[in-house]
Amino acid sequence: MNENALVSEISPQSNIQQQKGSIDIKDLSVVFESKDTRNVALQTTNLRVNPGEFVCILGPSGCGKSTLLNVMAGFLDATSGEALLDGKVINEPGPERSMVFQHHSLLPWKTVGGNIEMGPRLTGDLEAQQTVTYFLDMVGLSEYRNHYPDQLSGGMQQRVGIARALATYPRVLLMDEPFGALDYQTRLVMQENLLNLWGEFKSTVVFITHDVDEAIFLSDRILVMSAAPGRIIKDIKNPLGRPRDQFVSSDPIFIDLKRECLELIRTQSMSKP
């Protein structure tokens, strides 16, 4: 399996640099209620993600990370408060926001190219075929255009998922543990790939992970959430410069930040809801 970082030699299209959205979360809470249960998935939360920022969210299982991301994506309604994209209330999914999930959600009956092409076609991209060519090249999978998802490795499937997510030129890329199911080596390469792609796009990214090293390696800012019912307990600016490679993990700044995050998470993991 060739998982090398593969960033296109092709110049980015002229509109790419404009794809930066802001997200504002204002007094947002989400409660799931059924006939006899009431589950506070997310306590009142306030947050701003600036255009072009790469924000990682860390927190214990079940604390509401995916819930928060799903509201940003427009898949889920807030119980109170609101989420805004570039100042406009989010109440449905839209092509200006793309989501990448932990497990690829590629359609098995469509080829790699067919999967990536769907978004551009829906958004009226008259050059959908060229867009597919461009993004396939960018994730290093040009020769797999006519393959089906189950003919690819897990890492390759995730790369197709990322190409598909980018192919609508989203202003915000939402990623819910996108590398969580990958083996360690592949994950490291995928992280570097993503940073290379982001270096080219600079679109806004909100990235959920359980992996503290991953959060530090990727982010401009780390949000640490409490145990369920979740809220943001710490908003940490990542002082590490860019570009980064995996050897940054031996930098004392990295180690200090890791210690801070791990201590916060340990405290939360031990606290009773």
Ligand X SMILES: Nc1ncnc2c1ncn2[C@@H]1O[C@H](COP(=O)(O)OP(=O)(O)OP(=O)(O)O)[C@@H](O)[C@H]1O
Contact positions vs Mg ion (CB under 5 A): 66
Instruction: Identify which range of 43-51, 56-64, 119-127, 138-146 contacts ligand X by CB under 6 A.
Output: 56-64
Footprint (CB under 6 A) of ligand X, residues 211-250: 228
Smallest separation, CB 67 to ligand X (Å): 3
- CA distance between the termini of the chain: 43
**Residue 63 is a binding residue for ligand X (CB under 6 A):** yes
CA distances from 154 to 4, 95, 99, 131, 157 (A): 14, 25, 17, 23, 5
Residue of the chain from 64, 113, 119, 120 that contacts ligand X (CB under 6 A): 64
Instruction: Identify which range of 7-15, 61-69, 193-201, 234-242 contacts ligand X by CB under 6 A.
Output: 61-69
Indicate the DSSP class of residue 12: P
Residue of the chain from 6, 41, 73, 78 that contacts ligand X (CB under 6 A): 41
How many CB atoms lie under 10 A from the CB of residue 16? 15
Residue of the chain from 8, 67, 131, 191 that contacts ligand X (CB under 6 A): 67
Sheet containing strand 97-100, edge to edge, reads 97-100, 172-176, 204-208, 54-58, 221-225, 232-237
Which residues does residue 232 pair with via DSSP β-bridges, in sequence order?
225
Separation between Cα atoms, residue 236 and residue 253, nearest integer Å: 13
Smallest separation, CB 61 to ligand X (Å): 3
By a kind-dependent CB cut-off of 5 to 8 A, residue 116 interacts, out of ligand X, Mg ion, none, with none
Task: Determine phi and psi for 233, rounding to 5 degrees.
Answer: -100, -20
Nearer to ligand X by Cβ, of 65 and 164: the residue is 65
By a kind-dependent CB cut-off of 5 to 8 A, residue 29 interacts, out of Mg ion, ligand X, none, with none
**Residue 180 is a binding residue for ligand X (CB under 6 A):** no
Nearer to ligand X by Cβ, of 64 and 119: the residue is 64
Total residues at interface with ligand X (CB under 6 A): 12
Mapped onto helix, strand or coil, the DSSP state of residue 164 is: helix
CA distances from 158 to 8, 136, 164, 228, 246 (A): 17, 12, 10, 29, 20
Contact residues for ligand X (CB under 6 A)?
Answer: 32, 39, 41, 59, 61-67, 228
